Amino acid sequence: MRVFLVAGEPSGDRLGGALMAGLKTLIPDVEFDGVGGPLMEAQGLTSRFPMSELSVMGLVEVLPKFFHLKRRISETAQAVLDTKPDVLITIDSPDFSLRVAKIVKAASNIRTVHYVAPSVWAWRPGRADKMAKVIDHVLALLPFEPPYMERAGMECDFVGHPVASEPVATPEDIAAFRNRFDLGDAPILLALPGSRRGEIERLAESFGRALRLFIEAHPGYRVVIPTVGATTELVKERVAGWPGDPVVLDPRYEGADQALANKRSAFGAASLALAASGTVSLELAAQNTPMVIAYKLNWLTQKMAERMVKLDTVTLVNLVSDTRAVPECLLDECVPAKIADALRNVINAPDAQQLAMRLTMDQLGRGGEAPGLRAARAVLDRMQVDYA
């Protein structure tokens, strides 16, 4: 069986890596092709070009790279048509992925699967109907998503999220992490200003100023900043003046397993986290790390989002748990003073988020079959492929 996969950012790489591991478990001789990052490469993918080229978000950010991205869309679709895989699996990054799928569907009958249902329940509800023209099957991360996809005419399976089945840092892991990075017994504050260059460039200054205000009132905190390899140098540059003697976790000179272990231990060691909106809130919930979510967009993108977004929260922990336990400083509220106040409120009531985080992990399948394996079964079952 031949599978062509396309992922465009680190969260998609994580999903792709877990799905590939599941497919290899069920069909050991499966062959992979496509575009992905280090976790997918660790499962046997040779990426056709660096995944980091696709990690762009927001209208204004995309425009300067429009022609390059358009060329990559054409190249990727042509590679699918040339290699004739049994299935094309696109992972998140819908603005890129669905354009690839559209070209492939127009020229072939290759089956198309999209992993991560677009947030049609939050904004752009018409996207599901357009998506149904080029996608046969959707793998959903959230339990309330399948009806939205099925109403548009696509097959859809809730498969959970890999974060719910990943290891949790042990006390021994945390002690070794603290020793390795000379953190002693200091309380740790995680700072996670995003994985994309545009996010980091927009958020780093506000994050740094907010941390300064917080640490002035709560001295002794050490700041730890996990990074992805493609943006590590940018992060180092932007956090050079931050308080808390920052430790930047650089994955480029570590193996994939060690880099993940470092990140997991950092999450487990932290007393508090300040993070950009995204999948990272689920990673923090998995490690029971209290958090504040802060995010802002380019001005033009923000104005468009304000007209289309239908929800009062963007944090996945809040959405999945149906609570509003995680405080948010979004858009015009993403300013240092308000972020610092939110951090102080969380550290003064560190257990307030525990129930929401536990509910989130339960909803996403903690304790059940690994989501990557569930996703692999869903792909094969819908294709009526026999496997062990």
10-residue stretch averages of pLDDT, the chain, 388 residues long: 94 92 97 96 96 64 70 96 98 92 98 89 70 96 90 95 88 97 97 92 96 97 94 96 96 88 96 93 95 83 56 87 95 95 95 96 91 96 93
Contact 50, 235 (CB under 8 A): no
- Nearest-angstrom CA–CA distance, 260 and 280: 13
* Beta-bridge partners for 224: 190, 247
Q: How many CA atoms lie within 13 A of 289 on its CB side?
A: 31
Helix, strand, coil percentages for the chain (3-state, nearest 5): 50, 15, 35
Q: What is the pLDDT of residue 305?
A: 56
Contact 211, 69 (CB under 8 A): no
Distance between start and end Cα atoms, the chain: 14
Per the listing, tokens 């590590």 go with 232
Q: What is the pLDDT of residue 263?
A: 95
Using the Cα atoms of residue 254, residue 257, residue 260 and residue 265 in order, give the sign of their dihedral. negative
Q: What's phi and psi for 32, nearest 5 deg? A: -120, 145
Which residues are within 8 A (CB) of 310 and not within 5 positions of it... i.e. 6 or more apart? 121, 122, 123
The residue type of 353 is Q
The residue type of 375 is A
**C-alpha to C-alpha distances, 3 to 31, 158, 376, nearest whole angstrom:** 6, 21, 11
Q: How many CA atoms lie within 13 A of 152 on its CB side?
A: 24
Indicate the angle between helix axes 336-348 and 197-217, nearest 10 degrees: 60
Burial, 320: exposed, middle or buried (Cβ in 10 Å; 0-12, 13-18, 19+)?
buried
233-236 LR contacts (CB < 8 Å, sep 24+): 234/197, 234/200, 234/201, 235/193, 235/200, 235/204
Q: What is the pLDDT of residue 22?
A: 95
Longest dimension (CA), the chain: 62
Contact 282, 362 (CB under 8 A): no
Q: List the beta strands (DSSP E) in 104-152.
A: 111-115, 137-140
Q: What is the pLDDT of residue 57?
A: 44
Q: What is the pLDDT of residue 52?
A: 85
